[in-house]
Amino acid sequence: MASYEDVMSLSVRRGFLWPAVDLYGGFAGFYDYGHNGVLLRRRWEDRWIETFLGLSDNYYLIDTTTILPEAALKASGHVDHFTDILVTCTRCGESYRGDQLLEAATHEEQEGLTTEEIDARIQELKIRCPNCKGVLGPSREFHMMFPLEVGPTGKDRAYLRPETAQGVFLNFKREFEALRRRLPMGLAIVGRAYRNEISPRQGAYRMREFIQAELQIFFDPATFGDAVPFQDIASVPVRVAWASEKHAPTAHDAPAKDLVGHGLPPWYVYHLVQVQRFYLDLLRIPRDAFRFAELDEKERAFYNKIHFDIQVRQESLGGFKEVGGVHYRTDHDLRGHEAGSHAKQSVTFGTSKLVPHVLELSFGVDRNVWALLDLSYAKGERVVLRLPVQVAPVPVAVFPLVNKDGLPERAEALYAGLRKRIAAFYDDSGSIGRRYARMDEIGTPFSVTVDHETLEGKGVTLRERDSQKQIRVKEGDLATTLNQLLSGEATFPA
């Protein structure tokens, strides 16, 4: 159980994460990572890449620009759908979205109107503030995307990318050729994206600059179902909350085949299971703190035919919070770019010619890092960060029991040898208990202590963080033992 203050205070104190530019009072919606935060985040990213690119031989990482010209984002729909016209009441100060006000009055879809057009329509329809009947306006544009002026004249309008996915879609044809025209093909990006959130809140949960890890899987909807080994996972229980029960504080288990019975495609459910495995088995998220939450038609984006949020329950954020999503985007994106660029996006695969469909596995990296900090936070007599072994920023610490009798020299020699293979950390300040406590706070799973028996050739002690138990390990076996523990091949006591 960790409050928001608990997690934030530890993050700041121990070099994980803190508000950016706080020297100048801070910068809302922006956070900087410290040395342990970067290590934790990169290990999370490494595990993500291993897990999801590991789903197929034909899934790869690419890297694309963070700035995109207006034309590309026009075609993707972001220029129209990511820009709101806001109208503020002159009396009570409430703000409304102009298109929604007009739609409520006319019952017709209102899209792509300018501020002038919206003001004119409000006057014409005599729309007043729904809250206080005050006079509305004038309206103004609000961009969820950060606009940029590129080039000396600034006439080349561009934006910081609002999602990494577009970089993949823009490179689909190139990679389809380079990867020798095979489907399914997966392209992933781990990188930064930008949204001008109106009200950034709750630490790393809603930021204006954030890191996404997204895998876009391009497939032929006619054959994708046959390409995944659904039978292997048909009876695996999946944690789900349907749209109708999403506000309940829990979820329930349903066998994968029941989800298919509920109308979800087998290939979609197959990927839910893979995502669930990542969270439950690798990241060790408690089962009852994990779920897929279905979004109903109103909540999901217009291009998502099927959309489940990946949610993790976090005490610091007040319950289940979205850390990712599994989105069936159909052929919407490639068709959009085909229309916008006039470059054919259809491909010939086997005997059929098609515009591939897309399944997107999308993750907010910062949100995942925060969730790990939240769930790992254990407060007893002191704070222990029970991070899963495979993402811990510092996997191993080495100490001399006391600073005399040649123990520091012996411990330093051991450390020097160990760090050639393992990211180890050496400390000889304070007492042994204090050093253990320090490592516990940053989630170091294993500590090695050189004591007097070590000098007699009787090995070192190896301590586990969560149990505080110790075993003796021969110095010659130490690196191997640690590697097995850190890779998950062995469990303590090894």
**Contacting residues toward RNA, per CB under 7 A:** 4-5, 8-9, 12-13, 19, 25-29, 77-78, 81-82, 84, 88, 93, 95-97, 100, 144, 162-163, 197-203, 206, 301-302, 317-318, 381-383, 401-404, 429-434, 436-438, 441, 449, 451-452, 461, 463, 468-470
Q: Could you tell me the smallest distance in angstroms from the CB atom of residue 327 to RNA?
A: 8
Q: How far is the CB of 281 from RNA (least distance, A)?
A: 27
In angstroms, the CA 195 to CA 209 distance is 7
The CB-of-270 to RNA minimum distance in angstroms stands at 23
Residue number with CB closer to RNA (51 or 454): 454
Is the CB of 130 or the CB of 255 nearer to RNA? 130
Identity of the residue, 47 or 335, whose beta carbon is nearer to RNA in the bound complex: 335
Helix, strand, coil percent values for the chain (each to nearest 5): 35, 30, 35
Residue with smaller CB distance to RNA, 19 or 340: 19
Number of neighbours of residue 108 by Cβ within 10 angstroms? 8
- Shortest gap between Cβ of 261 and RNA (angstroms)? 28
> Is-contact 253 237, C-beta < 8 A?
yes
Among the listed residues 298, 297, 329, the one whose alpha carbon sits nearest the alpha carbon of residue 77: 329
Q: Are β-strands 83-89 and 136-143 bridged in parallel, bridged antiparallel, or unpaired?
A: antiparallel
Q: What is the C-alpha to C-alpha distance for residues 414 and 412, in angstroms, rounded to an integer?
A: 5
Question: Distance (Å, rounded) from C-alpha 136 to C-alpha 121?
Answer: 12
Q: Supply the minimum distance, in Å, between the C-beta of residue 234 and RNA.
A: 31
Least distance (Å) from RNA to the CB of residue 401?
5
Closest distance of CB 484 from RNA, Å:
20
**CB-wise, 110 or 228, nearer to RNA?**
110
Q: Decide: 455 and 410 in contact? Cβ < 8 Å.
A: yes
Nearer residue to RNA within complex by CB, 100 or 223? 100
Give Dmax over CA atoms of the chain in angstroms.
Answer: 93
| Residues listed for the chain | 494
Give the C-alpha distances (Å, rounded to integers) separating 250 from 291, 342, 373: 8, 47, 21
Residue closer to RNA, measured from CB, 159 or 219: 159
Which three-class secondary structure state does DSSP give residue 123? helix
* Phi, psi for residue 88 in degrees, rounded to 5: -110, 140
